[in-house]
Structure 1
Amino acid sequence: MSHIVTVQDAVTAFADFVEPTDAELDAIEQEMPVILADVELLDAQIITLDRVPTELDNRRLRRARRRALAARIALANRTTAATLPGGAA
């Protein structure tokens, strides 16, 4: 018979000194416009879950989709420019 034990101690044993590195924090900071645009899109989608979307809701959804797409494009362009030698695109 095998015993089921928790791994809580093993998982949280290193939690006190495990912090995000500066590189991870910089990556999060670069992705923040995409994250915020996705949150705005989710908010617009959640509003329309329990009702028939009005014209205003449809406009809000379209704007949120465009902002999310634009944020992703801008992030992809920054990432591509940063990885190419000399910053050439």
Structure 2
Amino acid sequence: MTHIVTVQEAVTAFEPWLEPTNSELDAIEAEEPVIRAEMDELDAVLAVLDRTPTEVDRQRIRRARRRLLAARRDLANTTAATTAGGAA
């Protein structure tokens, strides 16, 4: 008879290096507006997949895309300013 062994220790083992670093958490926090805007756009597009979009639906999608573009622009500008050292 073959015994089945669990790998619970391997699954539940916790190593400190598995946690994100402070710089990674800061990067995630900086990207949060873009992530939220992407989710809003995806929600708007998914809402009309199974039906013909109305004018209100089209406006909602356009608005969501504009917010996404603005969030990406802001993130790019922030990243560029940080990378350049803020010197103007």
**Could you tell me the TM-score, scaled by structure 1's length?**
0.80
Measured against aligned partners, the alpha-carbon deviations of 1:6-44 in whole angstroms (never above 9, x if no partner) come to xxx7xx669612111111110000000000000000000
Aligned-pair identity in percent equals 58
**Which structure 2 residues correspond to residues 1-89 of structure 1 after superposition, within 5 A?**
16-17=14-15, 18-85=18-85, 87-89=86-88
* Cα 1:64–1:21 shift into 2, 3 Å: same
| TM-align CA RMSD | 1.7
- Structure 1, unmatched stretches of 5+, are 1-8
* Cα 1:76–1:39 shift into 2, 3 Å: same
SS in 1 for 2:49: coil
CA distance in 1, matches of 2:40, 2:87: 32
* Cα 1:48–1:15 shift into 2, 3 Å: farther
Count residues in correspondence.
Answer: 78
Give the greater-gyration-radius structure (CA): 2
